[in-house]
Amino acid sequence: MAFDTDGIHAGVPFAEYLGHPAFSSSDLRTFRQGPPAMVPWKREHRDQDATDATRLGSAAHCRILTPNEFEQRFVVKPAGLEFRTKEAKDLRDGWLAAGLTILSSAEDDQVRQIAKAFQAKATAQQSLAAATHVEASMLWTCRRTGLPCKGRPDWVDGDAVYDLKLSVEAEKSLEQLRFRAHQNGWLNQLAHYRFGLGSLGHPVRVGRLVVVAPRSPQDLRVWLIELNEDAMDHLELANEITRKQIAECHRRGHWPATPDTWQQVELPPSAVFVDEVDLEGAEEDLFHV
CA–CA distances in Å: residue 211 to residues 42, 81, 97, 165 = 25, 33, 33, 5
Strand partners, 9: 137
Inter-residue contact 39 to 255 (CB < 8 Å): yes
3-state secondary structure 188-213: HHHHHHHHHHHHCCCCCCEEEEEEEC
Averaged confidence pLDDT in the chain: 92
Whether pTM > 0.85 for this model: the answer is yes
What is the tens place of the pLDDT at every residue in 145-162? Answer: 999 999 999 999 999 999
Which of 79-83, 96-100, 131-135, 247-251 is the least confident region?
79-83
* pLDDT classification of 287: cutoffs 50, 70, 90: very low
3-state secondary structure 15-72: HHHHHCCCECHHHHHHHHHCCCCHHHHHHHCHHHHCCHHHHHHHHHHHHHHCHHHHHH
Strand partners, 206: 160
* pLDDT classification of 276: cutoffs 50, 70, 90: low
User: CA 165 to CA 180: how far, in whole Å?
Assistant: 12
Inter-residue contact 58 to 18 (CB < 8 Å): no
* pLDDT classification of 268: cutoffs 50, 70, 90: confident
Inter-residue contact 164 to 65 (CB < 8 Å): yes
The pLDDT score that the predictor gives to residue 288 is 47
Query: What domains does the chain contain, in order, with CATH numbers?
Result: 7-62+114-251 (3.90.320.10)
